[in-house]
Amino acid sequence: MKLDFSFYKHLPLWLKTTLVLIVLAGSTVAFFSIARISNTDESLCQSCHPVIFRQWQESKFHPQEVTCYECHSQRRGAFPASDDNLFNHYRSLIIPEKFKADKDRLNENCLHCHEDIPQLKEVKKTRIVKISHKKHFKGEKVKIDNCLVCHFSITHDKFSIETNRPKMHGCFTGDCHKADRKDDKCELCHFVKLVETEKELEKINTK
C-alpha cells in the first residue's frame, strides 16, 4: 500500500509548519520516553545483578515503585550546577545514567525522600526499639553524617532476618556505645524491657 502525501503541498504555510512541529515534537517525546524507560527499567539491572535484584524484590522497606534508579542515580535539581552544562544536566534529568552504589550517592538520595527523619527524636511506630535520629545524625556528641553508617542493609539485606534497623554489633563498634554493653543499659534503646537485672531476677525466683 502506497501512502499519498501529495495533499501536503496544497496546504497553507501555517498548517505545514504546524504539522512539521507536531511530528518533530512527537518524535522527540517518543525518543526520550523510550530512552528513559530503557535506562530506568529494573530488568536492565537484573541482567548483571540477579542476586541483588532478588533481594530488592523481596524487600518490604520500600514500595515496589521505588526502583533501582531512585536510589542509585544522581539527584539533579531544576537548574544545572556551576560545573555542569545545560545539555548534560537536562539529558541526565530525563534519562538517568551513571548509576552508583557508593555511600555518598545513596545518602543523598535517602535524604531527598526522608529529609524529616534526621530531626526525629525517636523512631515512630515501633514495638521494641527506639533510636533518636536527632542525637545520632550530626548530633552534638555523635558525628555520623551518612545514613548508610547505620542502615547499611537497607533494601539489599543479606541477613536471614530482614531489617532496615542498625545491627547491634554495629552500635558497639569503635567507641560509640562501648560503655553501654551492660544489662542495665539496655533501656537506652529498648523501651520494652528485655533483660532483667540480677535483683529483679532474685525477686522473681523467690516468688
pLDDT in tens, 75-126: 887 777 777 777 777 888 788 878 888 888 888 888 888 887 777 666 555 5
pLDDT in tens, 19-52: 899 999 999 889 888 888 888 888 888 888 888 8
SS3 70: helix
Q: Which residue has the cell 511530528?
A: 23
Domain ranges of the chain: 13-166
Q: Which of 112, 57, 110, 176 is nearest to 167 (CA)?
A: 176
> CATH fold of 13-166, please?
Multiheme cytochrome fold (1.10.3820)
pTM: 0.54
Distances (CA, A) of 32 to 25, 87, 90: 11, 14, 11
Q: Which three cell numbers stand for residue 72?
A: 542509585
